[in-house]
Structure 1
Amino acid sequence: MIAIIAVLCSLSSPENCREQTVTTSDFADVSMQSCLMGAPQLADWMNQHPTERLAAWRCVIGQRDGRGT
């Protein structure tokens, strides 16, 4: 399984950023190549989170607990 770790920043407070594992059923079959190219599902996921800006993302094999830094 490929996990997408997104770095999200608040639009109201841009210095307030955190990491979050992006998980939805849409990401169940994401390949490493698709993830590295910015998985189209990531844009859809961001549309559902309009108060945040995607600052960066990375792809990892396996799962993470989703806690921010």
Structure 2
Amino acid sequence: MIKIIAVLCSLSAPGNCHEQIVTTSDFADVSLQSCLMGAPQLAEWMNQHPAERLAGWRCVIGQQARRGI
């Protein structure tokens, strides 16, 4: 399973950023290549969360602990 971990920043407080796993069951078909290129599903997820700005993302295979920002 490939997880997409996004770095999101609040539009109202740009310095307020956090990591969010945006992978759901809808992302079951995400390939590593698709993830590295900015999976279309990530854009769709961002459209559903208009109060945040995507500052970056990374692709993780399997389980991985969260990193601090």
1-structure distance, mates of 2:27, 2:67: 18
For structure 1, list consecutive stretches of 5 or more residues without a partner in the other structure.
none
Counterpart for residue 16 of structure 2 = 16
Q: Deviations over 1:41-68 (max 9, x none)?
A: 0000000000000000000101346687
The list of structure 1 runs, each at least 4 consecutive aligned residues, that deviate by more than 3 angstroms after superposition, is 63-69
Partner SS, residue 20 of structure 1: strand
State percent identity of aligned pairs. 81
Q: TM-score, normalised by structure 2?
A: 0.88
For structure 2, list consecutive stretches of 5 or more residues without a partner in the other structure.
none
Counterpart for residue 63 of structure 1 = 63
Q: TM-score, normalised by structure 1?
A: 0.88
C-alpha change, 1:46 and 1:66, in structure 2 (3 Å) is: farther
- Is 2:53 aligned against 1:42? no
1-structure distance, mates of 2:55, 2:19: 10
2-structure distance, mates of 1:68, 1:50: 23
Root-mean-square deviation (CA), in Å? 1.7
Shift of 1:39: 0.3
